Amino acid sequence: MSQTPDSVVRTYIQQHRAAFLDDLAEWLRIPSVSAQPDHAADVRRSADWLAAKLTETGFPTAEVWPTPGAPAVYAEWPSDDPQAPTVLVYGHHDVQPAAREDGWDSDPFAPEIRGNRLYARGAADDKGQVFFHTLGVRAHLAATGRTAPAVHLKLLIEGEEESGSPHFRALVEQHAERLAADAVIVSDTGMWSEDTPTVCTGMRGLAECEIRLYGPDQDIHSGSFGGAVPNPATAAARLVAALHDEHARVAIPGFYDGVVELTDRERALFAELPFDEEQWLRTARSHATRGESGFTTLERVWARPTAEVNGIGGGYQGPGSKTIIPASAMVKLSFRLVAGQDPDHVEKAVRAWAERQVPAGIRCELTFSGATRPCLTPLDHPALQSVVRAMGRAFGETVRFTREGGSGPAADLQDVLGAPVLFLGISVPSDGWHAPNEKVELDLLLKGVETTAYLWGDLAEHWRHAP
């Protein structure tokens, strides 16, 4: 009886499962918390450990790349097929802070398997999802009888993602030639649920803005002057109130310029997802949904641009009262952007709008930061099709589509390398990213291994360079 490639892959994974989990556990024991300076040596140790493991896996090149902060790991395994596409896998080896007393049932840096789950800080975010590529590429070689992958395979695993990736863009720019790729595969997201495998097709972009409003030269008495001079806290509030129209649509002229609207097919696909609004509200810790008219909750968080107030402040905020007109007030806004929107254009639109809103006698200063472009891969992109097929083979189920409402360093790869960004993740919402008792489902982790074992062959077959 001849083996199909799929059964070869599965058998190979079963045979190497124990060693794979032992290795992952060893890596998880390194508390590579990038946000805590006293763990800087651990983050370096984590990078060294990974580079050595990738060399052991077979990558001819595996290097630790220093940055002014924590180091990244870069590895490369060229295909023996010169027409094969080049794929760059992105992930991170640093983790969120964690301490047993935060509510962990076991030491966050002493990985523990309970039932069919592996509990440890980084199990899902992101060491587990980086590590499945090691066994995945070995299974791919074993099943195909190759000695090099079917695609030119590159890995860039950064060490500061949980600290806001402060040096990531510069690192990518510095190494742009070596990082050049036809597609980027981000291995740092999740899927809809255990029962619903999905591929994420895009992330929202970001523009952040702090607005400072100045009124009187000092706090003045609201009895003596109230009702007769402009109040900067009122001006701040009126700016915020003017952000949205009565349909909860952003009311800044030009804000929606260029927005790539959802297609009917995308909306139909979103609607197929088993969305439970009550459950979603519990996750959001919120007590009602509210958003742009004419769109569902999923459309609002995944595919529509937004304006949110992250902070507002002015005047007296202590106990009791103080009858003043404050000298100044402040608003922190973040705009989530979707495909077609440009952070620079949004900045210009916000500046022009804010200046028109502010009354005479109030001076306003705007400071922008955090500009991140949105990413969106069209549903018919050949690389996305390959991911969907590979995942479908591994899971034996229809693969559906999601998007991600947040923003991430993947956008820097898209911008600098000019490559489309795809997202391949097997984590599920219950994995508890950034929370106590983070875990990964072992079955899903091995489906991740299996997906990548199929993916490189599928990509090489369907998305070859012209000879």
Interface with a second copy in residues 353-412 (CB under 8 A): 359-363, 369-370, 404-407
The answer to whether residue 237 forms part of the interface with a second copy (CB under 8 A) is yes
| Contacts (Cβ under 8 Å, ≥6 apart) of 68 | 167
HSE (side-chain half, CA atoms, 13 Å) at 188? 25
- Contacted by 237, from Zn ion, a second copy, none: CB < 5 to 8 Å by type: a second copy
The answer to whether residue 225 forms part of the interface with a second copy (CB under 8 A) is yes
The answer to whether residue 94 forms part of the interface with Zn ion (CB under 5 A) is no
Residue 79 CA from chain centroid, whole number: 28
Query: 14 vs 367, which CB is nearer to a second copy?
Result: 367
The answer to whether residue 404 forms part of the interface with Zn ion (CB under 5 A) is no
Give me the residue label for tokens 């952003």. Answer: 250
- Contacted by 324, from Zn ion, a second copy, none: CB < 5 to 8 Å by type: a second copy
Give me the residue label for tokens 């900045």. Answer: 347
Of 79-87, 139-147, 165-173, 293-301, the window that binds a second copy (rule: CB under 8 A) is 293-301
Least distance from a second copy to the Cβ atom of residue 331, Å: 8
Q: What's the CA gap between 203 and 213, in Å, rounded?
A: 32
Query: 406 vs 418, which CB is nearer to a second copy?
Result: 406
- Contacted by 125, from a second copy, Zn ion, none: CB < 5 to 8 Å by type: Zn ion
The pair of three-digit structure tokens given for residue 307, joined into one six-digit string: 């304006």
Beta bridge partners of 198: 400
Cis omega before residue 126 (within 30°)? yes
Neighbours of 138 (CB within 10 A): 18
The pair of three-digit structure tokens given for residue 151, joined into one six-digit string: 């695609």
Least distance from a second copy to the Cβ atom of residue 123, Å: 20
> Contacting Zn ion (CB under 5 A), which of 23, 42, 76, 125?
125
Least distance from a second copy to the Cβ atom of residue 296, Å: 9
- Contacted by 343, from a second copy, Zn ion, none: CB < 5 to 8 Å by type: none
Least distance from a second copy to the Cβ atom of residue 135, Å: 30
> Contacting Zn ion (CB under 5 A), which of 42, 76, 158, 188?
188
Least distance from a second copy to the Cβ atom of residue 205, Å: 10
Of 43-51, 117-125, 422-430, 448-456, the window that binds Zn ion (rule: CB under 5 A) is 117-125
Give me the residue label for tokens 């099709």. Answer: 385
The answer to whether residue 292 forms part of the interface with a second copy (CB under 8 A) is yes
User: Is the distance from CB of 461 to CB of 448 less than 8 angstroms?
Assistant: no
β-strand 72-77 against 61-65: which pairing, if any? antiparallel
Q: At 104, is the secondary structure helix, strand, or coil?
A: coil
> Contacting a second copy (CB under 8 A), which of 289, 352, 461, 465?
289
The answer to whether residue 216 forms part of the interface with a second copy (CB under 8 A) is yes
User: Is the distance from CB of 359 to CB of 398 less than 8 angstroms?
Assistant: no
Least distance from a second copy to the Cβ atom of residue 279, Å: 13
- Contacted by 378, from a second copy, Zn ion, none: CB < 5 to 8 Å by type: none
Q: What are phi and psi of 62, to 5 degrees?
A: -150, 115
Q: At 95, is the secondary structure helix, strand, or coil?
A: strand
User: Is the distance from CB of 99 to CB of 37 less than 8 angstroms?
Assistant: no
